[in-house]
Amino acid sequence: MSDTAFDYYSHKKHHDEHEHAPAAKEPEGPPSEYEIMSRAMQELLEAKGVVTAEEIRRRMETFEEEFPYRGSRVIARAWTDPAFKQRLLKDGKAACAEMGVELEATRLIAVENTPEVHNVIVCTLCSCYPRELLGMPPTWYKSDNYRARVVREPRSALKEFGTVLPDHVALRVHDSNADMRYVVVPMRPQETKGWSDERLADILTRDILVGVTIPKIPATK
């Protein structure tokens, strides 16, 4: 199965299917336009022998089970390896390739949070997203609500995710597109000094790497 064929099918399947705020339930009722298009595309690719239903199923499982953890491993290494972090900030795609992560987009731009700047990612036109790093984009990322509000009123939008930033912190919103994707390099919590890459990766979530939340240390019992 070619990556190009799968990516086209996958993009159609997940492109703007639902328009809901975070935590909204999936709607009931007839399939949306994009669901119909994605099903038709799948049937066409299967009929031409380009893909099989089993190949699509396996690839979707890979997206759900493996891809979401790639981004956390990349950022965990950036936290512990200053030289790697500089390479990531200079050329995100090349740095990810060092870790065996091949990206479809022409460029991956890593943007670093600091005590003075917080970065957040959006795609204002559709749902462009670093799938090879983070898996499939969540429903809220594709919603009109998020795409519009994070640009117009980012502090209010982030507050709905539980992220309240001090007034002195500047907010930078980065707009992804088909050729250029972004990933946020969050600030490492001071309490994680001496942690292994594996342990650090455990506290790095998809939402953190999109910029809507910040790393938190799990409470110890």
C-beta separation of 105 from 181 below 8 A: yes
Is residue 96 annotated as a catalytic residue, yes or no?
A: no
Is residue 123 annotated as a catalytic residue, yes or no?
A: yes
3-state secondary structure of 180: strand
- The catalytic position among 72, 127, 143, 176 is 127
Q: For residue 27, how far is the Cα from the chain centroid?
A: 23
C-beta separation of 161 from 145 below 8 A: no
C-beta separation of 97 from 84 below 8 A: no
User: DSSP alpha helices (H): ranges in 82-189?
Assistant: 82-90, 92-98, 131-134, 139-142, 144-152, 154-159
C-beta separation of 69 from 55 below 8 A: no
Beta bridge partners of 111: 184
Q: Which of 153, 125, 152 is nearest to 141 (CA)?
A: 125
Distance CA 125, CA 111 (A): 20
- The catalytic position among 38, 72, 96, 123 is 123
C-beta separation of 182 from 130 below 8 A: yes
- The catalytic position among 126, 156, 176, 196 is 126
- The catalytic position among 10, 38, 72, 128 is 128
Q: Where in the sequence numbering do the catalytic residues fall? A: 123, 126-128
